[in-house]
């Protein structure tokens, strides 16, 4: 079985690398794990990326932010229904609509009504389209000042509306309540219990030597993204090895100190259609019966030079991780691989 999984992982990595600079693909099937790389890291040494190569994981960071929320909620440090304003500095103006306040759960399920980007950022992007690091100026002062002037598009809790701003504010708020920085919060609450040593915001030391160089859609080197205080929306770097540990916890329930938080994160659901919904930090859908009715829970990510995908089937204990050091999305081949694993698993005798 391991040989077959390794072949599937390598085929997908090769497929991704054909039109990109480099990629790493990991496959988890019950207790088996296979990680394969193809192409180049794009860094000075030019090696093929591997299990311990660091990539910007973009919005996959949101799954970590939401799990940190579930962890703090399980400990009684915060409440899922606690208003965002309770965790921000005194005097911060937080928009509401129809008498409903934005709660932490709204932020983690993209139902806050907040826009996708911080106020003024879309205009800034139009005026400076070549800016290499568009989120670099998103400090807490800028975010909270803009928040006070933001109008909600929908009543909180009513409709799914994907928001980087909301996820970033959640990370900022949780770090404030925990009395620490976002990176330290994620390390303490998630990475340490899972033995993940390479999931970080700041890359330094030997990690720099293991970091892939990002590239734009046309293959030109791209500057790294630093999301300032919006980091909870997409500022983490990680490796295939660490993400395997992260997704194994989702499949197996995780260690004792994380188990309740994982259950809580997936018990929360907001339906977006009859066949799709969102958990705390995860998208989910069930395939059409003609495709086997398989369950897929996932999140993808993209920055100026990287793309990422983490998807799993908790019913069959299968997962796929795909990381690329090019802006072009990896979603298509990653979803194809996950469906292949699900179909083959369904055909196997049990």
In angstroms, rounded to a whole number, what is the distance separating the alpha carbons of residues 206 and 201?
14
What is the C-alpha separation between 329 and 198, in angstroms, rounded? 23
Number of H helices, E strands in the chain: 12, 10
Confidence of residue 348 (pLDDT cuts 50, 70, 90): low
Cβ atoms 289, 300 nearer than 8 A: no
Q: What is the pLDDT of residues 183-202, one digit of tens each?
A: 999 999 999 999 999 999 99
Q: Is the pLDDT of residue 130 over 80?
A: no
Per-residue model confidence as pLDDT tens digits over 288-326: 998 889 999 999 999 999 999 999 999 999 999 999 999
State pLDDT tens for residues 39-98: 999 987 778 999 999 999 999 999 999 999 999 999 999 999 999 999 999 999 999 999
Residues 198, 263 contacting (CB under 8 angstroms): no
Residues written for the chain = 350
Angle at 225 between CA 17 and CA 148, to 5 degrees: 135
pTM summary value: 0.96
For residue 103, pLDDT over 60 is answered with: yes
The H or E element that residue 207 is part of is helix 206-209
């Amino acid at each position: 079985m391991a040989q077959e999984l390794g072949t599937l992982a390598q085929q997908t990595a090769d497929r991704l690398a054909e039109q990109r600079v480099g990629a790493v693909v990991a496959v988890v099937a019950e207790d088996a794990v296979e990680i394969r790389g193809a192409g180049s890291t794009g860094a000075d040494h030019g090696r093929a990326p591997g299990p311990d190569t660091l990539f910007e994981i973009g919005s996959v960071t949101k799954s970590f932010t939401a799990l940190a929320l579930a962890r703090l909620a399980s400990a009684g440090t915060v409440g899922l229904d606690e208003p965002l304003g309770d965790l921000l500095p005194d005097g911060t103006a937080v928009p509401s609509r129809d008498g409903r306040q934005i709660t932490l759960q709204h932020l983690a399920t993209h139902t806050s009504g907040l826009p996708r980007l911080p106020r003024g950022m879309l205009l800034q992007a139009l005026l400076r389209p070549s800016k290499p690091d568009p989120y670099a100026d998103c400090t807490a002062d800028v975010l909270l000042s803009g928040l006070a002037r933001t109008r909600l598009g929908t009543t909180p809790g009513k409709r799914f509306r994907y928001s980087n701003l909301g996820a970033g504010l959640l990370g900022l708020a949780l770090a404030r309540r925990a009395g620490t920085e976002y990176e330290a919060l994620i390390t303490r609450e998630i990475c340490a219990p899972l033995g993940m040593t390479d999931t970080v915001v700041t890359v330094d030391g030997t990690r720099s030597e293991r970091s892939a160089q990002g590239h734009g859609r046309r293959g030109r080197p791209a500057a790294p993204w630093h999301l300032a205080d919006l980091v909870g929306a997409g500022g983490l770097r990680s490796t295939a090895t660490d993400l395997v540990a992260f997704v194994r916890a989702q499949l197996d329930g995780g260690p004792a100190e994380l188990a309740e938080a994982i259950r809580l994160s997936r018990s929360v659901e907001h339906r977006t259609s009859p066949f799709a919904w969102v958990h705390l930090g995860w998208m989910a859908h069930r395939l059409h019966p003609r495709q086997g009715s398989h369950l897929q829970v996932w999140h993808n990510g993209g920055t100026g030079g990287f793309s990422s995908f983490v998807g799993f089937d908790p019913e069959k204990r299968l997962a796929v991780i795909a990381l690329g050091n090019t802006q072009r999305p990896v979603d298509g081949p990653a979803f194809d691989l996950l469906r292949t694993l699900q179909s083959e698993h369904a055909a196997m005798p049990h």
